[in-house]
Structure 1
Amino acid sequence: MCSPLRGRSPPAIQRWCCIIQKTGHTEELARYIQKKTNADMAQISPVTPYPSDYDETVRISRLELLTGRRNPVQPLSVRLQQYDSIFLGTPLWWGTLAVPVLQLLTQHPLEGKRVLPFSTNAGGNRDKIFDDLLLLCPKADVHAPLALRAGELQRAQGKVDAWIRG
């Protein structure tokens, strides 16, 4: 049973912005969201980093998706329990969430959290991201995703601001 706050203001909703860095576009969008919301930020990092060569990363990520054998992710620098709302950022990989994000969500399905997903892409089909989030986070409140093409942020700041406001 909750006790009254006795004249104190209720605690502010805490937000967390989580990114996977590969192309830089997702990080750019995450930093914009962080600036607008004063969110904390953490990075999802695979234990074994992906190669700097784009084609090799594409090959490895495709193999991970096809086989289900994914590179584990490093522990997060934040405790998920302390956040009510999570901005979850990912580049579009093979039409879905980046493999490190998939791996994180299999370990932490964000139960009871408000999840605000955002993605960057080079023009691929982004419909699967939302469906995959609903499957991976069945007990989370998953909001409509924000999807931007790589390099679109400068022209789409109004769209991002409206998405943040909900």
Structure 2
Amino acid sequence: MKKLLITALLGLSTAVSYAEGKTLMIFYSFSGNIEKIAETVKAETGADLVKVEPLQKGLNYAANNYSLGSDLIDRIRRNPNDSKSYPPIEPIKIDFSSYDFVIIGTPLWWSQMAAPMQTFLYNNANELEGKKLG
């Protein structure tokens, strides 16, 4: 599965590198795998990288069979339109008008985007409108 994901992202990064315009890759990485992929995308495309970080540090999402991550995903599923459902992340300032392409990199938690990335997308949906996303 990891090889498939890396292959898909490398294919995406190659396609983006041939397109005109500036590229941003926003990523969240719990175990470091997505960060490695982001660095590869940067090397292949020259994309700028922005890392999403949870506001609360030191959380072990893998503890107790990933119960914390599961609880976060459940809370978002139950109330997707309530900002209080999303875990807080570190503030990120991005001038989205500088970018034509935005690549999202995140692990999946129970077939869903990781909760910190869902928070980022919830908070920045309007700024991403009209962008080419991958």
TM-score (norm: length of structure 1): 0.58
Alignment partners' CA distance in 2, 1:80 and 1:48: 25
Gaps of 5+ in 1: 1-11, 117-166
Residue by residue, what CA displacement relative to the aligned partner does 1:16-49 show, whole Å, maximum 9, x if unpaired? 1111121111111111011000011110111113
SS in 2 for 1:108: helix
Percent of matched pairs sharing the same residue: 23
Does the Cα contact within 8 Å between 1:50 and 1:57 map onto a contact in 2? no
Does the Cα contact within 8 Å between 1:51 and 1:57 map onto a contact in 2? no
* Cα drift, residue 84 of structure 1: 1.1
The one-letter code of the counterpart of 2:67 is: R
The yes-or-no answer on 1:15 pairing with 2:31 is no
The one-letter code of the counterpart of 1:74 is: E
Alignment partners' CA distance in 2, 1:63 and 1:50: 17
The more displaced of 79-88 and 68-77 is 68-77
In proportion to residue count, which structure has more helix?
2
The one-letter code of the counterpart of 1:15 is: T
The yes-or-no answer on 1:96 pairing with 2:96 is no
The one-letter code of the counterpart of 2:36 is: E
* Cα drift, residue 53 of structure 1: 6.1
* Cα drift, residue 57 of structure 1: 8.1
Does the Cα contact within 8 Å between 1:46 and 1:72 map onto a contact in 2? yes
Alignment partners' CA distance in 1, 2:25 and 2:51: 8
The more displaced of 52-61 and 21-30 is 52-61
The number of aligned residues is 105
Determine which structure has more spread, i.e. the larger CA radius of gyration: 1
Alignment-derived partner of residue 88 in structure 2: 72
TM-score (norm: length of structure 2): 0.70
Alignment-derived partner of residue 115 in structure 1: 133
The yes-or-no answer on 1:32 pairing with 2:44 is no
* Cα drift, residue 50 of structure 1: 5.0
Alignment partners' CA distance in 1, 2:88 and 2:129: 20
* Cα drift, residue 77 of structure 1: 4.5
